[in-house]
Amino acid sequence: MQVVWLKRDLRVRDHAPLAEAAARGRVLPLYIVEPSVVRAPDFDASHWTFIRDSLAELREELGRRGGLLVVRVGEAVEVLESLRRDVNMVAIWAHEETGNGVTYARDRAVRRWARDSGVLFHELPANGVVRRLASRNGWARQWEERMARPVVETPHGFTPVSVDPGELPTHAQLGLYPDLRRLAQRGGERAAHGTLDSFLAERGAHYHTDLSSPLTAFDGCSRLSPHLAWGTISTRQVVQATRARVARAEVDWKRALRAFDARLHWRCHFMQKLEDEPAIEFENFVRAYDGMREPHFNADFFGAWKSGQTGYPMVDACMRCLAETGWINFRMRAMLMSFAAYHLWLHWREPALHLAKLFVDYEPGIHYSQAQMQSGTTGINTLRIYSPTKQVLDHDPRGVFIRRWIPELRDMPDDGIAMPWRYPALMDGYPRPIVDHAEAVRLARQRLSPYRRRPEAREEAQGVAEKHGSRKSGLKPTERKPRKRPVPTAQGRLF
Ligand SMILES: Cc1cc2nc3c(=O)[nH]c(=O)nc-3n(C[C@H](O)[C@H](O)[C@H](O)COP(=O)(O)OP(=O)(O)OC[C@H]3O[C@@H](n4cnc5c(N)ncnc54)[C@H](O)[C@@H]3O)c2cc1C
């Protein structure tokens, strides 16, 4: 029996482990609902909704081909061991996963168990992320090669196996709170392809301009992120469909889709960082920044940020929107993180965990790299402090998005929507800002500056660039012109 262990790859199309297993004998596709994963602080009921929907559809798809989806609740090694006693398990096939600390440790345990039990364990590349990468030089070329490979054919039929398929557990059975994200995207391979098709046929025409504002991004961005995160579609499928569309596109569409294509590359570029250094889920890229924010963690600030009560309308509207939809566009995610890190001076770890639960598309590799990038702890990225007031003026000047999510501000005139405290009589219980923007930014720079100037921070930053930096120029980092040192006052750009 060839077991196909499904993780973040809930599809039948372009699924190499499924095809390889099917080519070798009887196949048993297996999903393991692991209590350690479900109870981890980054897991949310909305993730389970998406996974459960996807598994239900997968069960149908496999069933149509004479196959079976087996679902078990338990820790991976225990489940596999018990299955091994029931069936003649020759091999396990799975995609490589760039997950969180829990799944990283579990994969190591499964590898050990497989070795000790005489079961072959084949892990195949899941996307453009390269396991055991020796150097970032040449990585972009490898990514291109992987994306260009033909999509793997779905096996036409499976030999029936007689194993109890197991129920898909409910939220209550898993001890998950009810899913509060009533407007979140639904899972499944059909939804993934429908989303891709509508983006490439209509919605993507102005992608490069639509992506910045929460008014236009919900339709104008691809919205493929939860599907890519849980694998109801592969990165390669999206890249190939996009390039085929570019080939027959008019100029405007070309520009939009090239911007989109670049982000598909970024996806793996960011995930590669966690693959190469799993510790960045917990620790600063540059350890010389350790201790910079930790002693200042203000639980009241964190509470206000989480509940959309900071007194800054764009921050609060985004947070409240996320609580119901599970999605917001890149710029607003960056603003939320930057506000937590600079204005509220919160260490990124707790805010990142909170956002991980809010994002239905939670992808650890992108998430922690971005959380650190927006908090200024990578050492290699320009310091970006977003002004929440400027975001309103630039991206929602009439307050359409803000009024939808902050009903307290429904009677606020347009010229007060960015700074409602100017009209205290019309705030209807909406709080005044918990920090003063200019003062908070001044203080953040003052606190950051000595850390950025430390020689050991600069040295570590060079190491981060060597290990994780993109090689756009095609040159090795040592061949590039030396980077300008950060200016001593740690002036950041204000976005
Ligand atoms: C603090 C922070 C945390 C984030 N956490 C996540 C996360 O957990 N999961 C996640 O998928 N994205 C994350 N992002 C990146 C980005 O915001 C989302 O990928 C994007 O908004 C998803 O919507 P979309 O699929 O419509 O994106 P599109 O704009 O249509 O892009 C298509 C795909 O490209 C990839 N992509 C887009 N932008 C980026 C980027 N800046 N970096 C890396 N990959 C990118 C994603 O896979 C995305 O689905 C985070 C960004 C920030 C600032």
Ligand 1 touching residue 225 (CB < 6 A): yes
| CATH of segment(s) 2-126 | 3.40.50.620
A 10 A CB-CB count for 294 gives: 10
Whether 242 is in the pocket of ligand 1, judged by its Cβ within 6 Å, is no
CA nearest ligand 1 atom 39, residue: 263
CB-ligand 1 contact for 384 (6 Å cutoff): no
Per residue, the 3-state secondary structure of the chain, as one string, reads CEEEEECCCCCCCCCHHHHHHHCCCCEEEEEEECHHHHCCCCCCHHHHHHHHHHHHHHHHHHHHCCCCCEEEECCHHHHHHHHHHHCCCCEEEEECCCCCHHHHHHHHHHHHHHHHHCCEEEEECCCCCCCCCCCCCCHHHHHHHHHHCCCCCCCCCCCCCCCCCCCCCCCCCCCCCCCCCCCCCCCCHHHHHHHHHHHHHCHHHHHHHHCCCCCCHHHHCCCCHHHHHHCCCCHHHHHHHHHHHHHCCCHHHHHHHHHHHHHHHHHHHHHHHHHHCHHHHCCCCCHHHCCCCHHHCCHHHHHHHHCCCCCCHHHHHHHHHHHHHCCCCHHHHHHHHHHHHHHCCCCCHHHHHHHHHHCCCCCHHHHHHHHHHCCCCCCCCCCEECCHHHHHHHHCCCCHHHHHHCHHHCCCCHHHCCCHHHCHHHCCCCCCCCCCHHHHHHHHHHHHHHHHHCHHHHHHHHHHHHHHCCCCCCCCHHHCCCCCCCCCCCCCEEC
Answer yes or no: are the C-beta atoms of 253 and 245 closer than 8 Å.
yes
- At residue 382, the pLDDT reads 82
The Å distance, Cα 329 to ligand 1 centre, comes to: 8
- Please tell me the distance from the alpha carbon of residue 452 to that of residue 361, in angstroms, as a whole number: 32
Distance 270 CA to ligand 1 centre (A): 10
- For residue 330 and ligand 1, the question of a CB distance below 6 A is answered with yes
Q: Which structure tokens are listed for 277?
A: 């250094």
The topology under which CATH files domain 281-494 is DNA Cyclobutane Dipyrimidine Photolyase, subunit A; domain 3 (1.10.579)
State pTM to two decimals.
Answer: 0.95
Token digits of residue 186: 């639904």
pLDDT in 10s for each residue of the chain, 495 residues: 999 999 999 999 999 999 999 999 999 999 999 999 999 999 999 999 999 999 999 999 999 999 999 999 999 999 999 999 999 999 999 999 999 999 999 999 999 999 999 999 999 999 999 999 999 999 999 999 999 999 999 999 998 889 999 999 999 999 998 899 999 999 999 999 999 999 999 999 999 999 999 999 999 999 999 999 999 999 999 999 999 999 998 888 999 999 999 999 999 999 999 999 999 999 999 999 999 999 999 999 999 999 999 999 999 999 999 999 999 999 999 999 999 999 999 999 999 999 999 999 999 999 999 999 999 999 988 889 999 999 999 999 999 999 999 999 999 999 999 999 999 999 999 999 999 999 999 999 999 999 999 999 999 999 999 999 988 644 343 333 434 433 332 333 333
Protein residue closest via CA to atom 12 of ligand 1: 366
Ligand 1 atom at minimal distance to the Cα of residue 352? 1
Ligand 1 within 6 A of CB of 334: yes
Whether residue 257 has its Cβ less than 6 Å from ligand 1: no
Q: List all residues 6 or more positions away from 481 whose beta carbon is below 8 Å from its beta carbon.
A: none
CATH, range 189-276 = 1.25.40.80
Instruction: Count other Cβ atoms within 10 Å, centred on residue 262.
Output: 12
Distance 223 CA to ligand 1 centre (A): 9
| Gap from CA of 254 to ligand 1 centroid (Å) | 20
Q: How far apart are CA 345 and CA 451, in angstroms?
A: 14
Per-residue confidence (pLDDT) for residue 132, from 0 to 100: 96
* Cα–ligand 1 centroid distance for 273 (angstroms): 15
Spell out the domain ranges in the chain: 2-126, 189-276, 281-494
Give distance in angstroms: CA of 377 to centre of ligand 1: 19
Q: Determine which residue's CA is closest to atom 22 belonging to ligand 1.
A: 225
pLDDT digits (tens, 9 = 90+) for 78-116: 999 999 999 999 999 999 999 999 999 999 999 999 999
CA distance between the termini of the chain = 56
Q: For a substitution probing ligand 1, which of 218, 263, 337, 363 has the most ligand atoms within 8 Å of its CB?
A: 263
